Amino acid sequence: QLQLQESGPGLVKPSETLSLTCTVSGGSISSSSYYWGWIRQPPGKGLEWIGSIYYSGSTYYNPSLKSRVTISVDTSKNQFSLKLSSVTAADTAVYYCASLDTGGVCDYWGQGTLVTVSS
Amino acid sequence: DIQMTQSPSTLSASVGDRVTITCRASQSISSWLAWYQQKPGKAPKLLIYKASSLESGVPSRFSGSGSGTEFTLTISSLQPDDFATYYCQQYNSYSPVTFGGGTKVEIK
């Protein structure tokens, strides 16, 4: 069974870049059965898909965030990462990493990490 | 993008009640719809995929139906562990993934 764990700073200053890493265990990030994605949830609000990556490096981003988002994969470390640039308070959220089947269903999730944007 | 609208946003029910949550898509998504359950402070948990397929390990009191633009999640007999927020998600391959706004199931 896959396990995912987010890591990264819990506090980011406005205008800076948010960086998070997701470590995958219990399976290979190079599996052709999965995409790897980031989803966020502002406090008290709903879920927003940020983007996904395939082990080959193909990426798919939410159009509303595309200009600020970069998702990358490191197969040697079984990790994938998120960078979100020029953050504002509106980017304060719990950030989840997840595995998505080839259809787009999020079947395994990390526990989530709260990132607060504040000076 | 495909917009997903859930109703109601909040639902008050008692243990043993039959509960139905509706999710509408702004355009047809065939059966490319999933349902998740989320409890406070926890990650969402997959319940149903492809509109009506029950994820392994999920109790049979949960069921999903629908196709095209209208979908429902039904809990046949609400249990204490089912009080949570439920989200629908569309995953049409030609459109970015989007989630509904959520339905909170509260104790009546």
Give pLDDT tens digits for A62-72.
999 999 999 99
Kindly tell me if the per-residue pLDDT of A45 is higher than 90. yes
What average pLDDT is seen over chain A?
A: 95
Residue in B1, B87, B97 nearest the CB of A104: B97
Please give the full DSSP string across B40-88, using - where no structure is assigned: TTS--EEEEETTTEEPTT--TTEEEEEETTEEEEEESS--GGG-SEEEE
Are the beta carbons of B96 and A106 separated by less than 8 Å?
A: no
- CB distance B86 to B35 below 8 Å: yes
Could you report the per-residue pLDDT of A77-86, keeping only the tens digit for each? 999 999 999 9
Total residues found in chain A within this entry:
119
Q: What pLDDT does B95 receive? A: 79
pLDDT of residue B108: 86
Predicted confidence (pLDDT) per residue in B94-108, tens digit: 678 999 999 999 988
Contact (CB, 8 A) for B21 and B4: no
Q: What is the pLDDT of residue A116?
A: 98
Mean pLDDT for B61-84 is 97
- Residue for token digits 């980031």? A38
pLDDT at A8: 97
Contact B48, B37 (CB under 8 A): no
Report the pLDDT value the prediction gives residue A56, as an integer from 0 to 100: 87
The per-residue pLDDT for B94 is 66
Sorting pLDDT into bands at 50, 70 and 90, what band is A55? confident
Optimal mutation site among B9, B42, B97, B99, interface A, most CBs of chain A within 10 A: B97
For chain A, the maximum distance between any two Cα atoms, rounded to a whole number of angstroms, is: 41
Percent of chain A with pLDDT over 70: 100
Establish if A46 touches chain B: CB-CB under 8 angstroms: yes
Instruction: Please give the Cα distance from B37 to A52 (Å, whole number).
Output: 21
Q: Is the pLDDT of residue B93 over 80?
A: no
Chain A residues within an 8 Å CB radius of B45: 109
Report residue B17 as tokens.
């009640």
> Do the Cβ atoms of A97 and A4 come closer than 8 Å?
yes
What is the reported pLDDT for B96?
A: 87
pLDDT tens digits, residue range B20-31? 999 999 999 999
- Could you tell me which chain A residue has the CA closest to the CA of B98? A49
Q: How confident is the model at residue B58 (pLDDT cuts 50, 70, 90)?
A: very high
Instruction: Specify whether the CB–CB gap between A72 and A38 falls below 8 A.
Output: no
Average pLDDT for chain B:
95
A contacts of B46 (beta carbons < 8 Å):
105-107
- Partner residue facing A112 (CB), from B34, B43, B46: B43
B23-43 b/e (C-beta count within 10 Å ≥ 16 → b): bbbeeebeebbbbbbbeeeeb
The C-alpha atoms of residue B4 and residue A3 are separated, in whole angstroms, by 28
Q: How does residue A9 score in pLDDT terms, banded at 50, 70 and 90?
A: very high
Please tell me the distance from the alpha carbon of residue B35 to that of residue A105, in angstroms, as a whole number: 9
